[in-house]
């Protein structure tokens, strides 16, 4: 086992595989921290709190009907959909599955390059992580 | 995408220009006015996850001849125009094909090209082609 290249990432939203349009993914899992320092301590003490996940997907805009990023992502703004993220590819590594609220869909159109898209998701509920068999 | 189909496709697109001879590959002889599709300067894979997108940059070179400097300029100028029936840019970008998703003629550079010992005034069009990697 060792380093893993990003070219095989699989990302699916609302049962639509957007991998072939994606150029970058940013998955984050974090937790609140609570200060539980009491008298008599010389350093602060913290306890973990609620966890929170988020996901950002960026890629090359494509107008393919039904399955392209515009067709899939734009209608999801404000809605919750199932997110499936496999950082090591379809047949290796973990599968992370969680419900996610699409908070932002962005299209960026430079004059001398392809149109790009990005979408940001806020995780809703726990992230289920399964390891490969 | 497939390189052979890309080069053939660009040749077909340029072939829509009346009177312009086209070879969809580089060769060591020129019969102006002639367009020649060159090998890519760069063929990039994995532009999106799962090799979903490939990004290819290659050149189409148009060679012209003429009796004097003025006729050479007039011969070359019509191919460099951004629009019109003799425009390389319009011919390539309006070509409908399943080979690529989009072809963009980025710019044109003017060079004196020597082919088989003969100098030709030419314009080298940089073309970016994007399509599906699988």
- Give the model's pLDDT for residue A86: 96
Please check whether residue A81 is in contact with residue A98, taking contact to mean a CB–CB distance below 8 angstroms.
Answer: no
- Give the model's pLDDT for residue A92: 87
Q: Which residues of B touch A10 (CB under 8 A)?
A: 49-50
Q: Is A3 on the interface with B (CB under 8 A)?
A: no
Backbone phi, psi, residue B38, to 5°: -95, 165
Structural domain spans, chain A: 6-130
pLDDT tens-digit series, residues B2-22:
999 999 999 999 999 999 999
Spatial neighbors of B114 by CB under 8 A, at least 6 apart, are B120
Please check whether residue B24 is in contact with residue B34, taking contact to mean a CB–CB distance below 8 angstroms.
Answer: no
CB atoms B46 and A62 under 8 Å: no
Structural domain spans, chain B: 3-132
ipTM score for this prediction: 0.86
Q: Is A112 on the interface with B (CB under 8 A)?
A: yes
CB atoms A7 and B49 under 8 Å: yes
Residue A132 confidence (pLDDT) above 70: no
Q: What is the CATH number of domain A6-130?
A: 2.40.30
- Give the model's pLDDT for residue A133: 54
Stated pTM of the model: 0.85
Average pLDDT over residues B108-119: 92
CB atoms A20 and B132 under 8 Å: yes
Q: What is the CATH number of domain B3-132?
A: 3.30.2000.10
- On average, the pLDDT of chain B sits at 95
């Amino acid at each position: 086992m060792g380093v893993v290249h990003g070219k095989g990432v699989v990302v699916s939203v609302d049962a639509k595989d957007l991998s072939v349009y994606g150029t970058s993914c940013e998955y984050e899992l974090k937790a609140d921290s609570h200060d539980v320092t009491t008298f008599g301590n010389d350093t602060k003490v913290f306890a973990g709190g609620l966890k929170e996940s988020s996901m950002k997907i960026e890629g090359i805009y494509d107008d393919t009907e039904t399955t392209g990023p515009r067709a899939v992502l734009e209608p999801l703004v404000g809605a919750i959909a199932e997110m499936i993220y496999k950082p090591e590819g379809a047949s290796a590594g973990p599968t992370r599955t969680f419900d996610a609220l699409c908070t932002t869909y962005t299209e960026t159109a430079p004059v001398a390059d392809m149109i790009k898209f990005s979408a940001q998701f806020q995780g809703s509920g726990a992230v289920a992580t399964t390891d490969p068999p | 995408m497939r390189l052979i189909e890309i080069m053939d496709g660009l040749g077909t697109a340029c072939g829509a220009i009346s009177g312009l001879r086209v070879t969809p590959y580089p060769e060591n002889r020129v019969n102006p006015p002639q367009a020649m599709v060159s090998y890519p300067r760069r063929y990039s894979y994995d532009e999106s996850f799962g090799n979903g997108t490939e990004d290819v940059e290659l050149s189409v070179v148009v060679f012209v001849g003429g009796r004097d400097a003025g006729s050479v300029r007039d011969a070359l100028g019509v191919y460099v125009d951004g629009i019109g029936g003799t425009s390389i840019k319009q011919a390539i970008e309006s070509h409908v094909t399943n080979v690529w998703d989009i072809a963009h003629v980025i710019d044109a550079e003017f060079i004196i090209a020597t082919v088989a010992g003969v100098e030709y005034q030419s314009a080298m069009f940089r073309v970016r082609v994007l399509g599906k990697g699988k």
